[in-house]
Amino acid sequence: MSLPVNGAICKGGYFLSKESNGYEATLASLLAAYQARTPIKIDGLTSDDKKWSGSSKHVCLIYFVRISKVAGSIH
């Protein structure tokens, strides 16, 4: 997955591992946000041992996903 603007280190984007804690919940949140066209922010693990080995760019393992608040949303 790639965002319009990736982080300074995660220039290649982000990936989600099935071995990650909360994999199902994170995937469901990402899919729901995509379908609803809701903005998100992603924090990725940046160490070399956590990057995706299948890319020449630094693709970071997703650590945390934040759903951005939208104007007019209910709090």
pLDDT in tens, 3-44: 667 778 888 899 999 999 999 999 999 999 999 999 888 999
The residue with tokens 């982080």 is: 7
The whole-number pLDDT of residue 15 equals 94
Residue 75 has pLDDT above 80, yes or no: no
67 backbone dihedrals φ, ψ, rounded to 5°: -85, 125
Largest CA distance in the chain: 42
Q: How confident is the model at residue 59 (pLDDT cuts 50, 70, 90)?
A: very high
Q: Are 9 and 58 in contact (CB under 8 A)?
A: yes
